């Protein structure tokens, strides 16, 4: 079995999911900056946007989990386009050239952020995307690139619309979208087991206050074990505006 490549693997989400992945697969971490590797991990430090680097990273891979991105909801379209859209296209081109059979793309709940209103609850992942910010829009395009890749190659492409992953639960507005460290690893493992074709799923824990439908993720084999309600007593009000996803919840 070739390694599963984790792009941006030394970043916030990569650090959370790699331990779970390493129990099932050999891993190769590709990142622009060096970090602390787990025992047995391969590491490639380089910019995937540069010619040949993505091909080197994906050579002989049995799968890729593409986490490298700019997650700032305040970033401009130009910034997120280069970091998210253009880089994903480069990675998918390399995956096609190297014959990588499984692709997991980190998307975001912000692709559907305009549905974060009571009249739409629960939000169905099959609905038309309604991004709430430039970041969310960039991930809508990433999902479309993934769908085209699956259609052209016949491979497996799973887009995970991640909620609040790797953040402290100190504000109540995050309780419904929280994805615990443990559940994040389980979700990515389930996505790597998907058969050929394209799909997109919400990625949250089994939160009491969740209004995002994760039934399609459960069909992949994802079984969330954690609930953000354990943080409810200490979670406070919003501290600053974020984006339109939290309209009505952003007043400090």
Residues catalogued as catalytic: 135
Question: DSSP labels for 68-120?
Answer: -----TTS-HHHHIIIIIIHHHHHHHHHHHHT--EEEEEEEGGGGGGG-SGGG
Neighbours of 221 (CB within 10 A): 14
| Secondary structure class of 246 (helix, strand, coil) | helix
Neighbours of 248 (CB within 10 A): 10
State both tokens at 102: 């499984």
Neighbours of 56 (CB within 10 A): 14
Question: DSSP labels for 125-147?
Answer: TTSPP--SSHHHHHHHHHHHHHH
The helix-helix angle for 134-153 and 87-98 (nearest 10°) equals 20
């Amino acid at each position: 079995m070739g390694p599963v490549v984790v792009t941006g693997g030394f970043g916030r989400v990569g650090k959370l999911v790699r331990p779970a992945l390493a129990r099932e697969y050999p891993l190769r971490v590709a990142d622009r900056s060096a970090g602390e590797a787990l025992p047995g991990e391969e590491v490639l430090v380089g910019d995937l946007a540069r010619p040949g680097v993505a091909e080197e990273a994906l050579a002989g891979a049995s799968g890729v989990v593409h986490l490298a991105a700019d997650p700032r909801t305040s970033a401009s379209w130009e910034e997120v386009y280069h970091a998210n859209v253009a880089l994903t296209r480069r990675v998918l081109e390399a995956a096609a050239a190297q014959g990588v059979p499984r692709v997991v793309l980190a998307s975001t709940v912000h692709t559907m952020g305009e549905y974060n209103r009571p009249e739409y609850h629960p939000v169905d992942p099959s609905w038309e995307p309604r991004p709430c910010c430039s970041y969310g829009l960039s991930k809508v395009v990433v999902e479309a690139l993934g769908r085209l890749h699956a259609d052209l190659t016949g491979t497996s492409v799973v887009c995970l619309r991640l909620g609040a992953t790797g953040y402290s639960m100190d504000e109540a507005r995050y309780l419904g979208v929280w994805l615990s460290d443990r559940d994040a690893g389980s979700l990515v493992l389930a996505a790597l087991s998907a058969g050929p074709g394209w799909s997109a799923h919400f990625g949250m824990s089994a939160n009491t206050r969740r209004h995002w439908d994760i039934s399609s993720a459960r069909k992949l084999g994802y079984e969330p074990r954690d609930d953000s309600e354990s943080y409810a007593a200490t979670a406070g009000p919003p501290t600053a505006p974020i984006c339109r996803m939290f309209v009505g919840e952003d007043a400090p």
